[in-house]
Amino acid sequence: MTTNDLPSAPAPERVAVVTGGSRGIGRAVSLQLARDGLAVVVNYTRDAASAEETVKTITAAGGKAMPVRADVADEHAVAALFDRAEQEFGGVDVVVNSAGRLALSPIADLDLAVLDDMHRTNIRGAFVVARQAARRLRAGGSFLGVSTSVVGSRFPAYGAYAASKAAVESITLILARELRGRDVTVNTIAPGPTATDLFLDGKTPEEIDRLAKTPPLERLGTPEDIARVAAFLTSPAGHWVNGQVLRANGGMV
C-alpha cells in the first residue's frame, strides 16, 4: 500500500459565527452554512424565539448550532460571543456580520437620534465584529461583511443607511491587507432588493413591484440567493476571492 492509498484524515469541523443570524438574510446564511457542514453560532440581539427556532431547524436536520445573544456594537458582548464559540466548538473559521438596521428618510428630515442608533449598529458594530474576527479567525478562515447595493444605486431616502454601509465596503480591502500572511479572506456582499421582513416593512405593493422590476431578472432576491453567495465566499472553494465587494443583485446598477 502506498501513501496515496491511505485514507485521508477527516477534515476538522469548521465553525461559523453569524451575527443577526436569526432572521432574514442572517437566518438564511445560518441555515446554508449548517447544510454545508459548519457548526453555527446564531447571534441575535432581541428576538430569542427566532434564534431558538433557527437553531432547532439546524439541529433537527442533524447539524450543530447554538444561539448567543450579543449587541454587535458592545465590544464586551461580542468578545463573549466569540469566547462561547471557541468554548463550545473549539474555534472560529467563518464570521458573517449580517446584523444591521435600516431607517429611511430624506436627508432634510433625518432624525439624528435615528441616525445615531443606525450607525451604532451598522458602523460601530461592523468594526467591533471585524476586530474580533481579525483576532480570532483560524488559518483558512473568512470574514464577510454585509453591505447593500444602494451604495451604488443611490435611491432617495436611503442616504443615512447607504452611508453606514459604505463604511463597511471601505474597510473590506483594508482589513484584507492588514491580515496578510494569516490565510484569512475578507469580503463584503452587497445584496440588492431582497424579500426580507426588514426590506418589505412599510412599503406599498406598488413600491415592491417597482423595485422587483429593477434588476434585469425582474424579481426580488431571496434570502437564499444571498446565502448561497455568502457560503461560496466563505468556503474553501471561494478562498481566492479576497478584498472584494460583490453586488448580489440580479444585475441592477
Of 219, 229, 239, 193, the residue nearest 29 (C-alpha): 229
- Give the neighbor-by-neighbor strand order of the sheet with 185-189: 65-69, 39-44, 15-19, 94-97, 142-146, 185-189, 245-246
Residues comprising the chain, all counted: 253
Give catalytic status of residue 161 as yes or no: yes
- Please compute Rg for the chain using Cα positions: 18
The three-state secondary structure class of 44 is strand
**24 φ, ψ to 5°?**
55, -135
- Among residues 82, 158, 161, 199, the one annotated as catalytic is 161
Interatomic CA distance for residues 120 and 94, integer angstroms: 23
CA dihedral 69, 231, 16, 181 (to 10 degrees): -130
The residues annotated with a catalytic role in the active site are 161
